[in-house]
Amino acid sequence: FAFVLSVAFSLSLESALGLMLMGSCPGGGLSNIFSVLLDGDLSLSITMTFISSVLALGMMSLNLFIYSHYWVAGGHSFPVPYIQIMVSLALLCIPVAIGMITRSRKPEWAKKGVALIRPIGLLLILLALTTGVYSNLYLADQWTLTIVLASVLLPILGFILGATLARVFRRDFQKTVTISLETGIQNSALATGLIKMVYEQPDSDLLAVVPLTSAMGQFFLGIMAYVVYLLSKVTKRRNAEQKDKEQVTVITDEYTDSFQMSDGEDTSPKHISPPLSPDITYVI
pLDDT bin (cut points 50, 70, 90) of residue 136 is low
Give the separation between CA 256 and CA 263, rounded to whole angstroms.
Answer: 10
Domain count, the chain: 1
Inside any domain, residue 213? yes
- Domain residues for 105? 2-233
Inside any domain, residue 159? yes
| Residue 65 CA: distances (Å) to CA of 21, 96, 188 | 11, 34, 19
Q: Which SS3 state, helix, strand or coil, does residue 156 take?
A: helix
Inside any domain, residue 221? yes
Inside any domain, residue 142? yes
Inside any domain, residue 104? yes
Residue type, 75: G
Inside any domain, residue 241? no
Residue type, 102: T
Contact 113, 54 (CB under 8 A): no
Question: Is a pLDDT exceeding 80 seen at residue 116?
Answer: no
Task: Give the pLDDT score at 282.
Answer: 42
Task: Give the pLDDT score at 238.
Answer: 85
Residue 103, domain CATH: 1.20.1530.20
Inside any domain, residue 54? yes
Give the separation between CA 63 and CA 66, rounded to whole angstroms.
Answer: 5
Question: Is a pLDDT exceeding 50 seen at residue 198?
Answer: yes
Provide the 8-state DSSP code for 68: G
Reduced to 3 DSSP states, what percent helix, strand and coil does the chain have, rounded to the nearest 5? 80, 0, 20
Inside any domain, residue 37? yes
Question: Is a pLDDT exceeding 50 seen at residue 216?
Answer: yes
* Cα end-to-end span (Å), the chain: 106
* Region 24-32 average pLDDT: 83
